[in-house]
Amino acid sequence: MMSQMPQPTALSRCPSCEEPLEPGDRFCGACGFDLSAVPAPPRDTPTITMNGDAPRPPSEVPSVDWPVAPERGSSGTPAPVHLPSDIPGTDSAGSELPDPQSPAGPAPGRGAEVPDAGGESAGVRFDRPAEPDEYPLAPPGSAPADPRTADLAPPPAGTKLCVACRAGHVDRDGYCENCGHAQPRERDHMEQELAAVAAVSDRGLRHHRNEDAFTLSSTALPDGSPAVVAIVCDGVSSATRPDEASLAASRAAGEALLESLPLGTHPQQAMHEAIVAASNAVNALAEEPGPAREQTPHQNAPACTLVGAVVTTSLLTVGWVGDSRAYWVPADRSAPPARLTEDDSWAAQMVAAGLMNEAEAYADERAHAITGWLGADAYELEPHVASFKPDRPGVVVVCTDGLWNYAEAAEHMADVVPLDAGDRPLHSAQVLVGHALDGGGHDNVTVAVMPFPAPSQRAGSA
């Protein structure tokens, strides 16, 4: 039987050994491969397959009998325009749509229901009720009250109202039971004003708590003249419980002065005794039971610094331990101001020994290392006390280093004290604390402003 003759191949290389082929070769000259066994290449089509779908063969694509656009008339006028509503149509079920011009009703989309295949309403409406021109306000009492403006019921006795939502009560841990907001600590910012003295204390911008404390009071001397007292203490942050130390010291010193001054004790001696009482109060904080000290061997004794002032009608007395300071700022700013205390610090020792000048000493990183403080582990208690007799009115600024770090020299301190400080001590203390916060607020800030002389017409105990 005669077989079908193979057609000449169009290959350029042998599929078996890749040797070049000549046109018309039926066998490979190198390996003898039968070139007629190679299937013919598929016929190429220009259709591109998209998204994995095979193209439909041309014969299977249905033809569309598109209408021919009407030609312009001989007069050149355009063909008439037909609106969509002029063309009859059917709905999705195949039923004819009603004629919009007929009285049967409007077409769908104009407030009618679409009929289904059986002629009944399909239940889908395209209309909606008309909206009112005005909406009535809710009757009083139906909407929840705004806690910022509403008259809320007072909190139960012994509880406080949240400063954030003004609605919830504060629990014992200091959090709001309504919104969970942590409440500011009582000592984060404190202000107090008496007749002739005012003080402000602030946590500052960097510390997590306020470790400063102050005490203000006034009393009368045996002759009936007034005596005004301000005590400012700064807790030593490297010690244990510095906030408790400063609070205990300020209270003890203030109470001691209120006891001794009315008895006729000289303010200078009274101040010395007050500092000793403050030291004893701080030392008592370290007197813990033996087991407690054994469980916390890494803790050291609480410690703080102290500066205080007593102002009478003719005498100004200051006392201090540590690096908290007192400044004198005269009401007449043409007169020179003065710093009334000397720091118990490394920098002050370097200056006193003549090893450095003030600029060099206070620029050193060891400048604020204190050499004197109140506490059980202090080297030796050495209260510093001095008295002055100013010849003109002015104010005494008693402060922690949280303020004088931003106004160290007496001239600089005088520049930031308001001119009306003698008449507005609280405002002046607020301004001075603001000056420290504007400068960075790196430490707790506490300042007391005391007008001199103490005004007799405003004397009274507190």
Which tens digit of pLDDT belongs to each residue from 79-130?
Answer: 566 565 665 666 666 666 666 555 555 444 444 444 554 555 445 555 566 6
**Is residue 243 within 8 Å of residue 235, measured between CB atoms?**
yes
DSSP string, 74-129: TT-PPPPP--GGGS--B-TTSPBPPPTTSTT-PPTTSS-EEE-TTSSEEEEE---P
Beta strand spans in 300-435 (E): 303-311, 316-321, 325-330, 338-339, 374-375, 384-388, 394-399
Dihedral sign from CA coordinates of 266, 274, 453, 417:
positive
Structure tokens at 242: 């510095």
Q: What is the distance between the alpha carbons of residues 26 and 433, in angstroms, rounded to a whole number?
A: 106
What is the predicted pLDDT for the residue at 299? 74
Residue 406 to residues 320, 371, 403, 412, 454, Cα–Cα distance (Å): 20, 22, 6, 9, 28
Nearest CA among 253, 404, 270, 414 for reference residue 343 = 404
Q: Which residue has the tokens 């001397």?
A: 221
Distance CA(277)–CA(233), nearest Å, equals: 14
Q: Do 229 and 308 form a contact (C-beta atoms < 8 A)?
A: yes
Question: In this structure, which amino acid lies at residue 211?
Answer: E
Are the C-beta atoms of residues 451 and 392 closer than 8 Å to each other?
no
pLDDT of residue 327: 98
Q: pTM score > 0.75 for this model? A: no
Residue appearing with tokens 């014992």 = 172
What is the pLDDT, as a whole number, of residue 184?
74
CA distances from 90 to 97, 118, 124, 156, 272 (A): 5, 14, 17, 73, 108
Helix axes 242-260, 267-285, angle to 10 degrees: 150
Indicate the SS3 state at residue 435. helix
Q: Closest Cα partner for 197 from 436, 423, 457?
A: 423
Can you give the pLDDT at residue 264?
A: 96
Torsion of CA 340, 345, 348, 349, to 10 degrees: 130
Pairing between strand 189-193 and 121-125?
A: unpaired
Split the chain (462 residues) into runs of 10 and give each run's mean pLDDT.
46 77 76 71 51 52 58 58 61 63 49 49 56 64 55 64 78 81 82 95 92 97 96 95 97 98 97 98 83 58 97 97 97 97 92 88 87 92 96 97 95 97 97 96 96 73 44
- Provide the β-strand partners of residue 121: 115
Rounded Cα gap, residues 449 and 127, in angstroms: 76
Phi, psi dihedrals of residue 442, rounded to the nearest 5°: -70, -15
Please report the pLDDT score of residue 112 as a whole number.
Answer: 46
